[in-house]
Structure 1
């Protein structure tokens, strides 16, 4: 969640709109170091993203969305795959995918994806792929689907050998070197589904594995619907790609959902944690988004000037009264009433006539100064408010450097507002009473803002409470508890010592803390457990498959072309990250 570069201000953000600036996949050259060798080709065939690279590469060479755009009714129309689609929102009704949930069912589309992969990798071996292939598949992938995939790769692309593996188990293998012999509990949440996979002595226990039909797609769709209902005026501007961006950038898992929902009902808490998202808009001619703030600032300055002028007049009247009193004392001296003159001096606190004369001179200068400012107040601009001579009490409260570059407009308005409340007792009543305005003002930028409040925690909560979106099934925590309870207490303790989190939908902030809270609630008193998040929940599956393919034991996990021809396309060799091989009814193992 890159908030620093994403933020326009402390609480206002702008859309990145990454779906508008996708870079088409680069055509790579066939590496000479790979040509003619047995270097495996790793394909993490995910329902959201496909990641492809050689086992000798430090990272995938191709990463693209599993989307195909093909014009309907036009056979000669060239298909666009993943990043080659310039804007998915304009042709979303044309988009296809090879997946149904996370199972490959459309093999025509899958063939287009393979063509895209092998072409961009620079393979020039006359339509044949001469390298071993490692391909990921979903948990408990149906044998028929595996058979069709094997048939496509062996018959169409003539791969020499092929290995299937589960992406989440490859990720577990990447983060746990001893995963082949140890126990653990893999929590994998992807784009379409979420799985809880118990690992007993390094092998997946399919019988007690469970699936929750909730993933990142459901969160994005829920965000999309909520915002379109909340802001019907911006219905067209809120598309699914932007909803996915908001889910990825602005949501987080609440450790205690019910308590935090109550916190969001508090206005101060809501104002502090709300994210405002600025939609693109075109300003009206001659209109500035700061007009409203400037008008309020000018009105506040004008009111301060009126208060200042009133206080100056009051001060002038007081100084003139005092001057008249001092002059009346001097008149006693002129009338040769020495005794009355000395008595009046003592009453005023002066010991001699020189002090009296000095004070008269100071008052004369002060009165003249006030008169000069009163006569020149009409020529002063509103921006020169800081130079106006208020009373000592008021002047000490005016912020220094008003209008300076180091102070935001919002801060200036707050300072003026506080100053008015201090110097004008009737300010609150004036503020609430109808005030004549010189012209109507409208903050167009604020009108084009989306406010994310409780949605920031409500969207990820779908994973734990599917009933929020109307799904009649248990959430992640309930299903996790069900899986643990299906084992004896000793096995439960072993599984709880390594609860592994992987998958793109596990990247929400606070996810690890939430799982730990749920485990603490369901585990016996004083029992121990450990939650381990994947180093890279998204790429670790590809890296784990790469790591496995370079080990000596990997040869035992590949199905060769000869074995495919002999035993059929549904034949599977088990390995550390594979599904379990189940013999079909009526088929005798050889």
Structure 2
């Protein structure tokens, strides 16, 4: 069992790089890995990207009540925050915008703002022109229309001299010693691709995609923790869920067996991760001195004595009333017609028993009166005479001490349960969408629908239950209930050696603000192999790989499984290679030979592979120039070993679409 403090992601704003950079040759290519999670950008001649930031922007809404003090021509335009300028992403979570729909760029106005930020941080500010060729990554099987809009943005808006498109998974494969044949498992933020490679090229017709990635894992962890700890719902954020996945989650080698282990208390205590949430430590009261503890004990004794005195007074009043009634009815014992009714009314079987009850009542009244007088005299002399300890409370005559203790503990638990129910109900009514609040509104609306007339609400006893159910205050803790709780605890302290007074230790506050990450450590990554756990009706990673392999003859299957590579951010999760190796062994024929490896840097190798490709001669041959863009259109690009395949949009389909919309 380990305890860790929550680690909030610290982001530093990007600086503006010097331009021109003496270490960068003129005309050097700019490499942009335009991922749906992170955008990585830098010069092709560098070994690492200069910029790495979340590919989102935060655009606050315009406040029309405030005028622009600079020109006074309308509402003040809010500042757009992009990438690492968003230092607290949770504060603007509902204002975030992305250019992606899944992993396809569809919102070019957002993409333009992000490119403005990117080129600005690289130091390129010259008249809106970027005098450098660009290598830009895109998703597998990117639609022609999306590529056309991207090319139009790059050439028309930024005036770049050349553009090359490439697929991130293929670039990572080439960097990690890509062979002529292999199978790429590219696990991204929004989707996972299984890409077969034969003869050095991607077999585009047999690529398969699973609409599940890192985003689904983060969201699943977020929902699980919110459901598990509803009291800390505000402290559980997507950013913190993401950090927990990166630091503590792992793939289970055998998920079913791991679930059995987590069900064992000993295994749970050894492997659970405790996350300490931030909280405000209230200044604790100083430790009580011996004199203060004695005074507190005396005060408790006085309160208990007052409770006993009140109970004696109530019992004395009841006995006096009963004695008065019995004395008044004693004359009827001589009347044979009414004697039966009188005996039945007072629960006596005979006249002798009736008279004996009267004697008992008189003795009890006298005894109680004497006790009360003694208590009052002791209270008046408390200043001169040392206070005597309170005598032990004794059980009723018809119960043993053990039975009395059990009954008292049961009563105490019932009182505490009622208090907790009332407290929870008040919390539920304070929230709009809880079942208690909705039931309250249903009852109120039902009462409002009744026809107007005589208002007789409150005339029936059941109306009080309705009033209590819709009252926001609910049942308050009554004084009698609190006194009964004190009495029960005093009885247990005197007669139950196992009873311990509830004490709120300072450490309990910290424990209350802790999250236990147990089975979630393996449950969250498991959705990659079992998408049905999050309601996605698609095959898992094992089923998708098995499906792709069966599309090839046996000889080519052997080539593919001989070089399986894991890439993408999810490949950083511990245990992924071992789990996938077990799954491959299960789906391949008996004694099949396969080789599984993980990219050297699953998150960064796509950019490094692009940088390596940009330094090659093939990059120059694959470049789309402005002239080619003008001649062939925005959807055209040159194919190369790390690109998609170009399939021009059929002209007949284009004309048909134009006729349809015209």
TM over 0.5, shorter chain: yes
Distance 1:288 1:79 in 2: 50
Cα distance in 2 between the residues matched to 1:150 and 1:265: 55
Out of 221, 246, 249, the position equivalent to 1:248 is 246
Corresponding residue SS for 1:457:
helix
* Equivalent of residue 585 in structure 2, options 520, 529, 538: 520
SS at match of 2:638: coil
Shift of 1:436: 3.9
> Structure 1 residues 441 and 479, CA, compared in 2 at 3 Å: closer, same or farther?
same
Alignment equivalent of 1:65, drawn from 24, 36, 54: 54
Give SS of 2:185's match: strand
1:124-173 alpha-carbon deviations (Å, 9 max, x no partner):
33211111100000110000000000000000000000000011111111
Structure 1 residues 486-509: Cα deviation after superposition (integer angstroms, max 9, x where no partner): 100000000001101000011111
2:138 maps to 137
Any residues of structure 2 matched to 1:17-166 within 5 Å, and which? Answer: 17-18=8-9, 21-33=10-22, 37-73=26-62, 76-166=77-167
Aligned-residue offset at 1:76: 2.5
* Superposition TM-score, scaled by structure 2 size: 0.64
**Superposition deviation, residue 444 in structure 1:** 0.6
Change (3 A) 1:463 1:287: farther
2:613 is paired with a residue of what secondary structure? Answer: helix
> Are residues 488 and 36 of structure 1, via their aligned partners in 2, closer, same or farther at CA, if it must alter by over 3 Å?
closer
Q: Using a 3 Å threshold, how does the CA distance of structure 1 residues 439 and 467 change in structure 2: closer, same or farther?
A: closer
Give the gaps of 5 or more residues in structure 2: 63-74, 288-495, 654-662
Q: Using the alignment, how far apart are the partners of 1:452 and 1:143 within structure 2? A: 44
Structure 1 segment 488-503 matched on structure 2, within 5 A: 488-503=553-568
Shift of residue 480 of structure 1?
A: 0.4
2:136 and 2:502 mapped to 1: Cα distance? 70
Compute the displacement of 1:553 (Å): 1.7
Distance 1:278 1:32, change over 3 A: closer
Q: 1:552 aligns with which of 617, 640, 652?
A: 617
> Alpha carbons of 1:146 and 1:438: their partners in 2 closer, same or farther (altered >3 Å)?
closer
- After superposition, the Cα gap between the structure-2 partners of 1:243 and 1:438, relative to the gap in structure 1 and judged at 3 Å, is closer
Change (3 A) 1:484 1:441: same
Count matched residues.
Answer: 432
Q: CA deviation at 1:286?
A: 1.9
State the partner residue of 1:195.
193
CA–CA distance in 2 between the matches of 1:558 and 1:147?
Answer: 15
Report if aligned partners of 2:24, 2:43 keep a CA contact under 8 Å in 1: no
Do 2:16 and 2:121's aligned partners in 1 also have CA atoms closer than 8 Å?
Answer: yes
Partner of 2:499: 435
Instruction: Report the CA distance between 1:31 and its aligned residue.
Output: 3.4
| SS at structure 1 position matched to 2:586 | helix
Residue 438 of structure 1 and its aligned partner are, at CA, apart by 8.7
Distance 1:145 1:438 in 2: 65
Which structure is larger by alpha-carbon Rg, 1 or 2?
2
What is the match of residue 214 of structure 1?
212
Q: What's the C-alpha RMSD, in Å, of the aligned pairs?
A: 1.9
Write the deviation string for residues 199-230 of structure 1: whole angstroms up to 9, x where unpaired.
Answer: 11111111110000111110010110111111
- Alpha-carbon distance between aligned partners in 2 of 1:569 and 1:438, rounded to the nearest angstrom: 74
1:14 counterpart residue number = 5
CA distance 1:261–1:436, change in 2 (3 Å): closer
Aligned residue runs from structure 1 range 298-447, under 5 A: 434-437=498-501, 439-441=503-505, 443-447=508-512
Provide the rounded CA distance (Å) in 2 between the counterparts of 1:142 and 1:72: 32
Residue 90 (structure 1) shift: 1.1
Q: Which residue of 2 aligns with 1:416?
A: none
Alpha-carbon distance between aligned partners in 2 of 1:574 and 1:288, rounded to the nearest angstrom: 76
Preserved contact between residue 45 and residue 615 of structure 2 (Cα < 8 Å): no
4+ aligned runs moved over 3 Å, structure 1: 31-36, 435-442
Alpha-carbon shift at residue 263 of structure 1 (Å): 0.7
**Partner SS, residue 197 of structure 1:** strand
Q: Alpha-carbon deviation of 1:77? A: 2.2
Q: For each residue in 1:31-88, what CA deviation from the matched residue of structure 2 results, as whole angstroms up to 9, or x when unmatched?
A: 3436772211000000000001001112110110011011224673221101101211
Match of 2:627 in 1: 562
TM-superposition CA deviations, 1:4-54 (whole Å, max 9, x none): xxxxxx600111101xx3100111111343677221100000000000100
Secondary structure of the residue aligned to 1:478 is helix
2:529 to 458, 464, 475: 464
